[in-house]
Amino acid sequence: MDSLIIQGGSCLKGTIKISGAKNSALPIMAASLLSEEPISLGNLPHLADITMMNQLLMNMGARVEFADDHRRLQLHTAEVYNEGIMLAPLAHTMRASFLVLGPLLARFGYARLPLPGGCAIGQRPVDMHLRALSALGVSFELGDAEVVGRVDDSLRGAQVSFEEPTVGGTENILMAAVLAYGETCIDNAAREPEVVDLAQCLQAMGARIEGAGTSTITVEGVERLGACDYDLMPDRIETGTYLVAAATTGGSVRLENARADTIQVVMRHLEQAGAELSTGEGWVALDMGGRTPRAVDIETAPYPGFPTDMQAQFTAMNAIADGSSRIVERVFENRFIHTKDLCRMGADITVSGNEARLRGGATLRGATVEANDLRASASLVIAGLVAEGETTIEHIYHIDRGYEWIEEKLRRLGAEIKRCPNQSQG
Ligand code: UD1
Protein backbone atom coordinates (compact mmCIF):
# COMPACT_ATOMS: atom_id res chain seq x y z
CA MET A 1 0.00 0.00 0.00
CA ASP A 2 1.07 3.60 -0.63
CA SER A 3 2.66 5.84 2.00
CA LEU A 4 2.50 9.58 2.56
CA ILE A 5 5.70 11.45 3.36
CA ILE A 6 5.34 14.84 5.01
CA GLN A 7 8.05 17.40 5.82
CA GLY A 8 6.66 19.28 8.80
CA GLY A 9 6.76 22.99 9.43
CA SER A 10 4.60 24.52 6.67
CA CYS A 11 1.86 26.96 7.57
CA LEU A 12 -1.26 26.08 5.51
CA LYS A 13 -2.50 28.98 3.37
CA GLY A 14 -4.74 29.20 0.35
CA THR A 15 -8.00 28.02 -1.16
CA ILE A 16 -9.21 24.52 -1.97
CA LYS A 17 -12.49 22.91 -2.96
CA ILE A 18 -14.23 20.46 -0.66
CA SER A 19 -15.51 17.22 -2.21
CA GLY A 20 -18.96 15.65 -2.04
CA ALA A 21 -19.84 13.81 1.17
CA LYS A 22 -18.74 10.17 1.35
CA ASN A 23 -21.28 9.41 4.06
CA SER A 24 -24.11 10.75 1.88
CA ALA A 25 -22.87 9.06 -1.27
CA LEU A 26 -22.78 5.55 0.23
CA PRO A 27 -26.42 5.33 1.47
CA ILE A 28 -27.68 7.16 -1.62
CA MET A 29 -25.88 4.69 -3.89
CA ALA A 30 -27.54 1.88 -1.91
CA ALA A 31 -30.88 3.67 -2.38
CA SER A 32 -30.50 3.27 -6.16
CA LEU A 33 -31.62 -0.36 -5.56
CA LEU A 34 -35.07 0.97 -4.64
CA SER A 35 -35.90 2.07 -8.17
CA GLU A 36 -35.86 0.38 -11.56
CA GLU A 37 -35.16 3.73 -13.13
CA PRO A 38 -31.76 5.45 -13.36
CA ILE A 39 -30.41 7.57 -10.50
CA SER A 40 -27.92 10.27 -11.43
CA LEU A 41 -25.64 11.60 -8.64
CA GLY A 42 -23.57 14.78 -8.93
CA ASN A 43 -20.72 16.14 -6.75
CA LEU A 44 -19.43 12.58 -6.40
CA PRO A 45 -16.10 12.25 -4.55
CA HIS A 46 -13.31 10.00 -5.93
CA LEU A 47 -12.75 7.69 -3.00
CA ALA A 48 -11.89 4.04 -2.40
CA ASP A 49 -15.19 3.54 -0.50
CA ILE A 50 -17.18 4.84 -3.49
CA THR A 51 -15.28 2.50 -5.83
CA MET A 52 -16.09 -0.38 -3.49
CA MET A 53 -19.80 0.47 -3.29
CA ASN A 54 -19.85 0.73 -7.10
CA GLN A 55 -18.16 -2.64 -7.35
CA LEU A 56 -20.68 -4.12 -4.96
CA LEU A 57 -23.61 -2.79 -7.01
CA MET A 58 -21.99 -3.93 -10.28
CA ASN A 59 -21.45 -7.42 -8.82
CA MET A 60 -25.21 -7.49 -8.35
CA GLY A 61 -25.79 -6.55 -11.99
CA ALA A 62 -26.25 -2.77 -11.69
CA ARG A 63 -25.26 -0.64 -14.70
CA VAL A 64 -22.83 2.08 -13.65
CA GLU A 65 -21.85 5.00 -15.89
CA PHE A 66 -19.69 8.02 -15.15
CA ALA A 67 -19.94 11.47 -16.70
CA ASP A 68 -18.54 14.96 -16.13
CA ASP A 69 -14.96 13.75 -15.47
CA HIS A 70 -16.21 11.12 -12.99
CA ARG A 71 -18.05 13.80 -10.99
CA ARG A 72 -21.43 12.37 -11.95
CA LEU A 73 -22.48 8.79 -11.54
CA GLN A 74 -25.49 7.15 -13.10
CA LEU A 75 -26.75 3.99 -11.42
CA HIS A 76 -29.31 1.79 -13.10
CA THR A 77 -30.42 -1.20 -11.07
CA ALA A 78 -33.31 -2.46 -13.25
CA GLU A 79 -31.66 -5.87 -13.63
CA VAL A 80 -29.95 -6.72 -10.37
CA TYR A 81 -29.55 -10.27 -9.03
CA ASN A 82 -30.22 -10.60 -5.37
CA GLU A 83 -27.41 -13.06 -4.53
CA GLY A 84 -26.04 -11.85 -1.22
CA ILE A 85 -23.05 -14.15 -1.19
CA MET A 86 -21.51 -12.25 -4.14
CA LEU A 87 -21.08 -9.30 -1.82
CA ALA A 88 -18.99 -11.11 0.79
CA PRO A 89 -15.39 -9.97 0.15
CA LEU A 90 -16.41 -6.32 -0.22
CA ALA A 91 -18.88 -6.33 2.64
CA HIS A 92 -16.26 -7.57 5.08
CA THR A 93 -14.09 -4.52 4.43
CA MET A 94 -16.78 -1.82 4.33
CA ARG A 95 -19.44 -1.43 6.99
CA ALA A 96 -21.54 0.79 4.70
CA SER A 97 -22.22 -2.26 2.51
CA PHE A 98 -24.85 -3.15 5.13
CA LEU A 99 -26.88 -0.19 3.83
CA VAL A 100 -28.11 -2.34 0.95
CA LEU A 101 -30.12 -4.39 3.48
CA GLY A 102 -33.14 -2.02 3.72
CA PRO A 103 -33.32 -1.46 -0.07
CA LEU A 104 -33.03 -5.19 -0.90
CA LEU A 105 -35.77 -6.12 1.59
CA ALA A 106 -38.01 -3.37 0.23
CA ARG A 107 -37.46 -4.37 -3.40
CA PHE A 108 -37.21 -8.18 -3.21
CA GLY A 109 -38.55 -9.13 0.23
CA TYR A 110 -35.35 -11.11 0.76
CA ALA A 111 -31.73 -10.29 1.54
CA ARG A 112 -28.70 -12.37 2.42
CA LEU A 113 -25.76 -10.30 3.55
CA PRO A 114 -22.41 -10.83 5.20
CA LEU A 115 -22.07 -9.04 8.54
CA PRO A 116 -20.11 -5.85 7.91
CA GLY A 117 -16.52 -4.80 8.56
CA GLY A 118 -14.99 -1.31 8.44
CA CYS A 119 -12.72 0.84 10.58
CA ALA A 120 -11.23 -0.60 13.75
CA ILE A 121 -13.36 1.55 16.04
CA GLY A 122 -15.03 -0.83 18.41
CA GLN A 123 -17.59 -3.52 17.87
CA ARG A 124 -20.10 -1.53 15.78
CA PRO A 125 -22.94 -4.05 15.96
CA VAL A 126 -26.02 -3.92 13.73
CA ASP A 127 -28.57 -5.06 16.31
CA MET A 128 -30.55 -1.80 16.13
CA HIS A 129 -30.79 -2.06 12.31
CA LEU A 130 -32.24 -5.57 12.65
CA ARG A 131 -34.71 -4.73 15.45
CA ALA A 132 -36.01 -1.73 13.52
CA LEU A 133 -36.48 -3.72 10.30
CA SER A 134 -38.17 -6.53 12.28
CA ALA A 135 -40.81 -4.01 13.37
CA LEU A 136 -41.66 -3.57 9.66
CA GLY A 137 -42.26 -7.31 9.31
CA VAL A 138 -38.84 -8.74 8.44
CA SER A 139 -37.75 -12.03 10.07
CA PHE A 140 -34.02 -12.53 10.42
CA GLU A 141 -31.80 -15.59 10.76
CA LEU A 142 -28.42 -14.66 12.11
CA GLY A 143 -25.37 -16.81 11.30
CA ASP A 144 -21.76 -16.33 12.46
CA ALA A 145 -20.83 -14.25 9.45
CA GLU A 146 -24.06 -13.46 7.65
CA VAL A 147 -27.65 -12.44 8.11
CA VAL A 148 -30.66 -13.56 6.10
CA GLY A 149 -33.80 -11.41 6.13
CA ARG A 150 -37.22 -12.38 4.75
CA VAL A 151 -40.49 -10.54 4.39
CA ASP A 152 -43.46 -12.92 4.38
CA ASP A 153 -46.08 -10.70 2.83
CA SER A 154 -45.00 -7.11 2.28
CA LEU A 155 -43.22 -4.59 4.48
CA ARG A 156 -45.73 -2.83 6.75
CA GLY A 157 -45.23 0.65 8.17
CA ALA A 158 -44.78 0.66 11.96
CA GLN A 159 -43.66 2.66 14.97
CA VAL A 160 -39.87 2.29 15.35
CA SER A 161 -37.97 3.65 18.30
CA PHE A 162 -34.16 3.54 18.51
CA GLU A 163 -32.61 3.27 22.00
CA GLU A 164 -29.74 5.45 20.71
CA PRO A 165 -29.60 7.44 17.50
CA THR A 166 -27.84 5.35 14.85
CA VAL A 167 -26.95 6.91 11.50
CA GLY A 168 -26.80 3.69 9.48
CA GLY A 169 -29.80 2.22 11.31
CA THR A 170 -31.90 5.31 10.57
CA GLU A 171 -30.82 5.16 6.91
CA ASN A 172 -31.62 1.46 6.55
CA ILE A 173 -35.10 1.80 8.07
CA LEU A 174 -35.80 4.95 6.04
CA MET A 175 -34.93 3.14 2.80
CA ALA A 176 -37.14 0.18 3.73
CA ALA A 177 -40.04 2.35 4.90
CA VAL A 178 -40.33 4.36 1.67
CA LEU A 179 -41.73 1.28 -0.11
CA ALA A 180 -43.59 -0.22 2.90
CA TYR A 181 -47.35 -0.36 3.06
CA GLY A 182 -48.66 2.49 5.27
CA GLU A 183 -46.97 4.90 7.66
CA THR A 184 -43.68 4.43 9.54
CA CYS A 185 -42.73 6.72 12.39
CA ILE A 186 -39.04 6.64 13.40
CA ASP A 187 -38.43 7.94 16.92
CA ASN A 188 -35.01 8.97 18.23
CA ALA A 189 -33.81 9.05 14.61
CA ALA A 190 -30.27 10.21 13.83
CA ARG A 191 -30.31 13.91 12.85
CA GLU A 192 -27.05 13.95 10.86
CA PRO A 193 -27.03 16.10 7.69
CA GLU A 194 -26.26 12.93 5.67
CA VAL A 195 -29.60 11.46 6.80
CA VAL A 196 -31.25 14.63 5.50
CA ASP A 197 -29.33 14.33 2.22
CA LEU A 198 -30.55 10.75 1.79
CA ALA A 199 -34.13 11.77 2.61
CA GLN A 200 -33.98 14.59 0.06
CA CYS A 201 -32.70 12.24 -2.62
CA LEU A 202 -35.45 9.72 -1.80
CA GLN A 203 -37.98 12.55 -2.02
CA ALA A 204 -36.59 13.44 -5.44
CA MET A 205 -37.26 9.78 -6.39
CA GLY A 206 -40.88 10.19 -5.24
CA ALA A 207 -40.75 9.12 -1.56
CA ARG A 208 -42.98 10.80 1.04
CA ILE A 209 -40.86 11.70 4.06
CA GLU A 210 -41.30 14.36 6.76
CA GLY A 211 -39.08 15.40 9.64
CA ALA A 212 -35.62 14.34 8.37
CA GLY A 213 -33.08 16.31 10.43
CA THR A 214 -35.26 16.06 13.55
CA SER A 215 -35.57 13.15 16.00
CA THR A 216 -38.90 12.05 14.54
CA ILE A 217 -39.14 11.05 10.89
CA THR A 218 -42.46 10.05 9.35
CA VAL A 219 -42.63 8.08 6.12
CA GLU A 220 -45.74 7.34 4.10
CA GLY A 221 -44.91 4.36 1.89
CA VAL A 222 -45.42 4.65 -1.87
CA GLU A 223 -45.82 1.88 -4.47
CA ARG A 224 -42.73 2.68 -6.50
CA LEU A 225 -39.89 5.15 -6.82
CA GLY A 226 -38.71 6.70 -10.07
CA ALA A 227 -35.59 8.30 -11.58
CA CYS A 228 -33.81 11.30 -10.09
CA ASP A 229 -30.95 13.67 -10.61
CA TYR A 230 -29.38 14.68 -7.30
CA ASP A 231 -26.26 16.56 -6.15
CA LEU A 232 -24.59 15.31 -2.97
CA MET A 233 -23.93 17.72 -0.11
CA PRO A 234 -20.31 18.77 0.56
CA ASP A 235 -18.34 16.59 3.00
CA ARG A 236 -18.56 18.24 6.42
CA ILE A 237 -15.86 16.02 7.95
CA GLU A 238 -13.40 16.81 5.16
CA THR A 239 -14.26 20.50 5.68
CA GLY A 240 -13.62 20.22 9.43
CA THR A 241 -10.38 18.30 8.89
CA TYR A 242 -8.85 21.03 6.68
CA LEU A 243 -9.99 23.72 9.13
CA VAL A 244 -8.28 21.91 12.02
CA ALA A 245 -5.16 21.29 9.92
CA ALA A 246 -4.97 25.02 9.13
CA ALA A 247 -5.58 26.01 12.77
CA THR A 248 -2.90 23.57 13.99
CA THR A 249 -0.30 25.07 11.64
CA GLY A 250 -1.30 28.68 12.47
CA GLY A 251 -2.49 29.15 8.87
CA SER A 252 -5.40 30.65 7.01
CA VAL A 253 -7.55 28.81 4.47
CA ARG A 254 -10.68 29.29 2.44
CA LEU A 255 -12.71 26.19 1.62
CA GLU A 256 -15.04 26.39 -1.37
CA ASN A 257 -18.04 24.09 -1.88
CA ALA A 258 -18.44 23.88 1.92
CA ARG A 259 -21.55 24.19 4.07
CA ALA A 260 -21.05 26.09 7.31
CA ASP A 261 -24.50 25.13 8.62
CA THR A 262 -23.37 21.49 8.92
CA ILE A 263 -20.23 22.21 11.02
CA GLN A 264 -21.46 24.77 13.55
CA VAL A 265 -20.16 22.93 16.62
CA VAL A 266 -16.75 22.34 14.99
CA MET A 267 -16.49 26.05 14.13
CA ARG A 268 -17.39 27.01 17.73
CA HIS A 269 -14.59 24.80 19.07
CA LEU A 270 -12.12 26.32 16.60
CA GLU A 271 -13.16 29.80 17.72
CA GLN A 272 -12.49 28.73 21.31
CA ALA A 273 -9.06 27.63 20.10
CA GLY A 274 -8.46 31.20 18.91
CA ALA A 275 -9.26 30.95 15.20
CA GLU A 276 -11.24 33.57 13.30
CA LEU A 277 -13.96 31.95 11.19
CA SER A 278 -15.96 33.57 8.43
CA THR A 279 -18.60 32.00 6.23
CA GLY A 280 -20.71 32.74 3.19
CA GLU A 281 -22.90 31.01 0.64
CA GLY A 282 -20.92 27.85 -0.21
CA TRP A 283 -17.66 28.70 1.60
CA VAL A 284 -15.96 28.69 5.00
CA ALA A 285 -12.69 30.45 5.88
CA LEU A 286 -10.39 30.22 8.89
CA ASP A 287 -7.59 32.55 9.93
CA MET A 288 -5.27 31.61 12.78
CA GLY A 289 -2.93 34.55 12.12
CA GLY A 290 0.23 32.56 12.88
CA ARG A 291 -0.86 31.92 16.47
CA THR A 292 -0.62 28.62 18.36
CA PRO A 293 -4.12 27.28 19.12
CA ARG A 294 -5.48 27.11 22.66
CA ALA A 295 -6.44 23.62 23.85
CA VAL A 296 -10.18 22.87 23.81
CA ASP A 297 -12.19 20.26 25.70
CA ILE A 298 -14.29 17.92 23.58
CA GLU A 299 -17.12 15.54 24.24
CA THR A 300 -18.45 13.70 21.20
CA ALA A 301 -22.19 13.14 20.73
CA PRO A 302 -24.66 12.42 17.95
CA TYR A 303 -25.49 15.40 15.69
CA PRO A 304 -25.87 18.29 16.43
CA GLY A 305 -23.24 17.45 19.07
CA PHE A 306 -19.50 17.32 18.44
CA PRO A 307 -18.87 14.71 15.68
CA THR A 308 -16.93 11.61 16.67
CA ASP A 309 -15.42 11.75 13.16
CA MET A 310 -13.64 15.02 14.15
CA GLN A 311 -12.32 13.82 17.52
CA ALA A 312 -8.96 12.46 16.30
CA GLN A 313 -8.12 15.64 14.35
CA PHE A 314 -8.78 17.83 17.43
CA THR A 315 -6.65 15.44 19.51
CA ALA A 316 -3.70 16.18 17.19
CA MET A 317 -4.35 19.93 17.48
CA ASN A 318 -4.64 19.76 21.28
CA ALA A 319 -1.30 17.93 21.48
CA ILE A 320 0.56 21.07 20.35
CA ALA A 321 -1.94 23.63 21.68
CA ASP A 322 -1.39 25.88 24.71
CA GLY A 323 -2.91 24.33 27.82
CA SER A 324 -4.40 21.02 28.90
CA SER A 325 -7.53 19.38 27.56
CA ARG A 326 -9.93 16.53 28.14
CA ILE A 327 -11.48 14.53 25.31
CA VAL A 328 -14.45 12.28 26.01
CA GLU A 329 -15.60 9.83 23.32
CA ARG A 330 -19.28 9.02 23.81
CA VAL A 331 -20.24 7.54 20.41
CA PHE A 332 -17.76 4.67 19.90
CA GLU A 333 -15.70 2.62 22.33
CA ASN A 334 -12.07 2.06 21.35
CA ARG A 335 -11.67 5.23 19.30
CA PHE A 336 -8.32 6.41 20.65
CA ILE A 337 -6.24 4.28 18.30
CA HIS A 338 -4.44 7.42 17.05
CA THR A 339 -3.13 8.42 20.49
CA LYS A 340 -0.44 5.72 20.51
CA ASP A 341 1.21 7.09 17.36
CA LEU A 342 0.70 10.70 18.46
CA CYS A 343 2.55 9.83 21.70
CA ARG A 344 5.35 8.23 19.68
CA MET A 345 5.64 11.58 17.91
CA GLY A 346 5.98 13.35 21.27
CA ALA A 347 2.39 14.09 22.39
CA ASP A 348 1.56 13.83 26.09
CA ILE A 349 -1.73 11.88 26.21
CA THR A 350 -3.13 9.60 28.89
CA VAL A 351 -6.10 7.46 27.91
CA SER A 352 -8.42 5.90 30.44
CA GLY A 353 -11.54 4.17 29.10
CA ASN A 354 -13.42 6.59 26.88
CA GLU A 355 -11.48 9.61 28.09
CA ALA A 356 -8.15 11.12 27.02
CA ARG A 357 -6.26 13.78 28.94
CA LEU A 358 -3.73 15.87 27.08
CA ARG A 359 -0.98 18.12 28.27
CA GLY A 360 -0.52 20.55 25.38
CA GLY A 361 2.55 22.38 24.19
CA ALA A 362 4.31 19.27 22.87
CA THR A 363 6.98 19.57 20.21
CA LEU A 364 6.09 16.76 17.81
CA ARG A 365 8.87 14.91 16.00
CA GLY A 366 8.53 13.19 12.64
CA ALA A 367 8.22 9.39 12.81
CA THR A 368 7.08 6.42 10.77
CA VAL A 369 3.49 5.68 11.72
CA GLU A 370 0.72 3.51 10.35
CA ALA A 371 -2.77 4.51 9.24
CA ASN A 372 -5.19 2.18 11.03
CA ASP A 373 -8.51 3.94 10.73
CA LEU A 374 -9.84 6.71 8.54
CA ARG A 375 -10.04 9.64 10.96
CA ALA A 376 -7.10 8.40 13.05
CA SER A 377 -5.05 8.65 9.84
CA ALA A 378 -6.20 12.24 9.32
CA SER A 379 -4.93 13.11 12.80
CA LEU A 380 -1.50 11.65 11.92
CA VAL A 381 -1.40 13.81 8.77
CA ILE A 382 -2.15 16.90 10.89
CA ALA A 383 0.54 15.87 13.39
CA GLY A 384 3.00 15.35 10.52
CA LEU A 385 2.30 18.86 9.22
CA VAL A 386 3.50 20.45 12.49
CA ALA A 387 6.15 17.90 13.46
CA GLU A 388 9.87 18.61 13.23
CA GLY A 389 11.38 16.66 10.34
CA GLU A 390 9.86 13.93 8.25
CA THR A 391 6.78 11.83 8.98
CA THR A 392 5.99 8.72 6.96
CA ILE A 393 2.41 7.47 7.18
CA GLU A 394 2.30 3.89 5.95
CA HIS A 395 -0.67 1.92 4.63
CA ILE A 396 -2.72 4.96 3.69
CA TYR A 397 -5.53 2.82 2.30
CA HIS A 398 -7.79 4.16 5.07
CA ILE A 399 -7.05 7.81 4.12
CA ASP A 400 -7.95 7.06 0.50
CA ARG A 401 -11.27 5.67 1.72
CA GLY A 402 -12.38 9.11 2.91
CA TYR A 403 -10.14 11.95 1.66
CA GLU A 404 -10.08 12.77 -2.03
CA TRP A 405 -6.62 13.73 -3.36
CA ILE A 406 -5.43 14.65 0.13
CA GLU A 407 -1.82 15.21 -0.88
CA GLU A 408 -2.79 17.44 -3.82
CA LYS A 409 -5.13 19.53 -1.70
CA LEU A 410 -2.54 19.92 1.08
CA ARG A 411 0.20 20.77 -1.45
CA ARG A 412 -2.06 23.47 -2.85
CA LEU A 413 -2.18 24.89 0.69
CA GLY A 414 1.61 24.90 0.89
CA ALA A 415 2.33 21.60 2.62
CA GLU A 416 5.37 19.53 1.68
CA ILE A 417 3.75 16.17 1.16
CA LYS A 418 4.17 13.40 -1.37
CA ARG A 419 2.72 9.97 -2.03
CA CYS A 420 5.10 7.08 -2.26
CA PRO A 421 3.63 4.16 -4.17
CA ASN A 422 4.36 0.75 -2.72
CA GLN A 423 7.09 -0.65 -4.95
CA SER A 424 6.04 -4.24 -4.28
CA GLN A 425 2.67 -3.61 -5.96
CA GLY A 426 4.48 -3.24 -9.29
C1 UD1 B 1 -21.87 6.52 10.66
C2 UD1 B 1 -20.75 7.07 9.82
C3 UD1 B 1 -19.45 7.16 10.64
C4 UD1 B 1 -19.70 7.93 11.93
C5 UD1 B 1 -20.90 7.39 12.68
C6 UD1 B 1 -21.28 8.23 13.89
C7 UD1 B 1 -21.32 6.35 7.58
C8 UD1 B 1 -20.99 5.48 6.40
N9 UD1 B 1 -20.53 6.22 8.66
O10 UD1 B 1 -21.48 5.20 11.05
O11 UD1 B 1 -18.47 7.81 9.85
O12 UD1 B 1 -18.56 7.82 12.75
O13 UD1 B 1 -22.05 7.34 11.81
O14 UD1 B 1 -21.50 9.55 13.52
O15 UD1 B 1 -22.23 7.16 7.52
N16 UD1 B 1 -24.69 0.86 17.25
C17 UD1 B 1 -25.20 -0.26 17.90
N18 UD1 B 1 -26.07 -1.05 17.20
C19 UD1 B 1 -26.46 -0.78 15.92
C20 UD1 B 1 -25.94 0.37 15.29
C21 UD1 B 1 -25.06 1.18 15.98
O22 UD1 B 1 -24.87 -0.52 19.04
O23 UD1 B 1 -27.25 -1.53 15.37
C24 UD1 B 1 -23.78 1.75 17.99
C25 UD1 B 1 -22.40 1.84 17.35
O26 UD1 B 1 -21.56 0.79 17.74
C27 UD1 B 1 -21.94 3.19 17.85
C28 UD1 B 1 -23.23 4.01 17.86
O29 UD1 B 1 -24.29 3.07 17.91
O30 UD1 B 1 -21.43 3.08 19.15
C31 UD1 B 1 -23.44 4.93 16.67
O32 UD1 B 1 -23.24 4.21 15.47
P33 UD1 B 1 -23.94 4.62 14.10
O34 UD1 B 1 -24.54 5.97 14.25
O35 UD1 B 1 -24.82 3.52 13.68
O36 UD1 B 1 -22.69 4.71 13.13
P37 UD1 B 1 -22.56 4.19 11.64
O38 UD1 B 1 -23.84 4.38 10.92
O39 UD1 B 1 -21.93 2.86 11.63
Instruction: Tell me if 248 CB under 6 Å of ligand 1.
Output: no
Which residue from 26, 28, 124, 171 has its CB within 8 A of the most atoms of ligand 1, so it is best to mutate? 124
Instruction: Tell me if 354 CB under 6 Å of ligand 1.
Output: no
pLDDT digits (tens, 9 = 90+) for 291-335: 999 999 999 999 999 999 999 999 999 999 999 999 999 999 889
pLDDT at 122 > cutoff 60: no
Calculate helix-pair angle for 337-344, 311-320, nearest 10 degrees: 20
pLDDT at 120 > cutoff 70: no
Which atom belonging to ligand 1 lies closest to the Cα atom of 23?
A: 15
Q: What band does 424 get if pLDDT is binned at 50, 70 and 90?
A: low
Q: Does residue 72 come out as left (phi exceeding 0), alpha (psi in the -120 to 50 range) or beta?
A: beta
Across the range 194-223, mean pLDDT stands at: 98
Instruction: Tell me if 397 CB under 6 Å of ligand 1.
Output: no
pLDDT at 426 > cutoff 60: no
User: Which protein residue's CA is at the shortest distance from atom 30 of ligand 1?
Assistant: 332
> To the nearest whole percent, how much of the chain has pLDDT over 90?
84
User: Which protein residue's CA is at the shortest distance from atom 4 of ligand 1?
Assistant: 309
Across the range 14-33, mean pLDDT stands at: 98
Ligand 1 centroid from CA 266, angstroms? 19
Report which of 242, 277, 248, 237 is spatially closest to residue 360, judged by C-alpha positions.
248
Q: Which residues are catalytic?
A: 119
Which atom belonging to ligand 1 lies closest to the Cα atom of 123?
A: 26
Q: Please give the C-alpha separations between residue 336 and each of 142, 260, 324, 327, 394, in angstroms, as whole numbers.
A: 30, 27, 17, 10, 18
Residues 175-203: b if buried by 16+ CB within 10 A, e if exposed: bbbbbbeeebbbebbbbbbbbbbbbbbbb
User: Which protein residue's CA is at the shortest distance from atom 1 of ligand 1?
Assistant: 167
Residues 257-287: b if buried by 16+ CB within 10 A, e if exposed: bbbbebbebbbebbeebbbebebeeebbbbb
Sign of CA dihedral 7, 9, 13, 17: positive
Other CB atoms within 10 A of residue 249 CB: 27
pLDDT digits (tens, 9 = 90+) for 229-262: 999 999 999 999 999 999 999 999 999 999 999 9
Asked whether the beta carbons of 248 and 382 are under 8 A apart, the reply is yes
Between residues 342 and 153, which one has the greater pLDDT? Answer: 342
pLDDT at 135 > cutoff 70: yes
Residue 178, pLDDT score: 98
Across the range 261-283, mean pLDDT stands at: 98
Residue 423, pLDDT score: 55
Ligand 1 centroid from CA 425, angstroms? 33
CA distance 9 to 51: 34
Q: What band does 197 get if pLDDT is binned at 50, 70 and 90?
A: very high
Q: What is the CA radius of gyration of the chain?
A: 21
Residue 121, pLDDT score: 44
Q: What band does 115 get if pLDDT is binned at 50, 70 and 90?
A: confident
Report which of 162, 95, 169, 87 is spatially closest to residue 401, judged by C-alpha positions.
95
Instruction: Tell me if 114 CB under 6 Å of ligand 1.
Output: no
CA distance 339 to 92: 26
